[in-house]
């Protein structure tokens, strides 16, 4: 078992975080969908929070990026946008440790819900989430507009 620690991300971590986001997109078979940049992350840093798992050399091994949302049915919630452990560092408890940190924040912030998405073919992630008690809902579908769609939206 390797040594690692979890800490809040810093601006200096943004290049490594973006690299992991791109690795995640490749894993999810959608690398072309990443349009984010370090510059954009710096501009929008107040919109998200992130924990990083780092080794003794301060190399970023994994991320859990989240933000707060408000859901009409329940109120203040934490949305976990991405939790990803780079492949060489999986099966060492890092994902579980990051999830624990997320739930610590949700309790501290008095959140009424923690929500995230998982691809239906990501069996390892689904097993972890079910093991920790998550309810996986197959009823809802995502509705997305990209930047161009936002600009062109009309009824």
Is 79 designated active site?
A: no
DSSP one-letter string for the chain: ----EEEE--GGGHHHHHHHHHHHHHHTT-GGG----HHHHHHTGGG-EEEEEE-TT--EEEEEEEEEEEETTTEEEEEEEEEEE-GGG-SSSHHHHHHHHHHHHHHHTT-SEEE----TT-HHHHHHHHHTTPPPP-S-------HHHHHH---
Chain centre distance of CA 27: 14
Check 4, 66, 84, 129 and give the catalytic one. 129
Query: What are the tokens at 28?
Result: 């999810």
CA dihedral (66, 70, 76, 77) in degrees, to 10, reads -40
* Residues carrying an active site annotation: 129
């Amino acid at each position: 078992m390797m040594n690692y620690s979890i800490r809040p991300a810093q601006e200096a971590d943004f290049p490594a975080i973006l690299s992991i986001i791109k690795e995640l997109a490749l894993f999810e078979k959608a690398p072309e969908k990443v349009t984010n940049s370090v510059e954009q992350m710096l501009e929008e840093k107040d919109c998200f929070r992130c924990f990083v798992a780092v080794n003794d050399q301060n190399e970023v091994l994994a991320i859990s990026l989240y933000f707060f949302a408000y859901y009409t049915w329940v109120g203040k919630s934490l949305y976990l946008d991405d939790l990803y452990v780079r492949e060489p560092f999986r099966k060492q408890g890092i994902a579980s440790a990051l999830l624990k940190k997320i739930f610590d924040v949700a309790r501290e912030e008095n959140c009424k819900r923690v929500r995230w998405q998982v691809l239906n073919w990501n069996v390892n992630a689904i097993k972890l989430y079910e093991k920790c008690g998550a309810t996986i809902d197959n009823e809802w579908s995502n509705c997305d507009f990209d930047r161009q769609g936002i600009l062109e939206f009309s009824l």
